[in-house]
Amino acid sequence: MKTSKENKKTKPTMFTFFSTSFLVLVLILAVLLAGTRLVGLTPYAVISGSMEPEYPVGSLIYVDQVEPSEISIGDPITFVMNESLMVATHRVVDIKEDGSFITKGDANNTVDGTPVHPKNLLGKPQFSIPYLGYVSVFLASGQGRIVLLGVLGILVLSLLLPEGKSRVVKKEVAD
């Protein structure tokens, strides 16, 4: 006599795998782009080649706020360059008696034209991640925000929608 025994085994769907992987990727990006602020690091995107090869264009540098007295000749520093609040990272080549810094980009032939006042010092880079600056700049743009909202919407929907009907495997079992 043959009886039917239902063996309910659900296999993870490809959608579940990809949505979970994508969610993990988004969370990692969120930590790298914004979460580091919780530990006192501020990320800045590198948009010029003045500090190559140390900080290539497209890198994201993580800057720790430090006191001007902690800066030495040879240290890279991140600072506000001008009244338009342009931020730069260059290496200190000299420190003047008034405490201002003479800086130069590693890839530049000459020192910067204006000394950096200690009040304009934002901090000292601690590390950088290549290419992540491109992502940061894109997400800060109008198009990037639209893409970000779309991605977040898809993630929320993928979490709210049911996974679909699981397959029920029927096996004929002989007695």
Is 78 a member of any domain? yes
Angstrom CA distances, 131 to 6, 46, 73, 96, 123, stand at: 51, 9, 28, 35, 21
Q: State pLDDT tens for residues 81-129.
A: 888 889 999 999 999 999 999 999 999 999 999 999 999 999 999 999 9
Is 14 a member of any domain? no
Lowest mean pLDDT among 29-38, 42-51, 107-116: 29-38
17 — pLDDT class (breaks 50, 70, 90): confident
Alpha helices in the chain (DSSP H): 14-33, 132-140, 142-160
Three-state SS sequence of 70-93? HCCCCCEEEEECCCCCCEEEEEEE
d(CA 100, CA 95): 6
Is 37 a member of any domain? yes
Q: What's the pLDDT score for residue 15?
A: 67
Write out the residue range of the structural domain in which residue 84 sits.
29-161
Task: Please answer whether residues 104 and 93 qualify as being in contact, where contact means their C-beta atoms are separated by less than 8 angstroms.
Answer: yes
Is 148 a member of any domain? yes
The pLDDT of 53-80, averaged and rounded, is: 95
Is 39 a member of any domain? yes
Give yes or no for residue 55 having a pLDDT over 90.
Answer: yes
Is 12 a member of any domain? no
172 — pLDDT class (breaks 50, 70, 90): low
Which residues are catalytically annotated? Answer: 48
Is 131 a member of any domain? yes
CATH for 89: 2.10.109.10
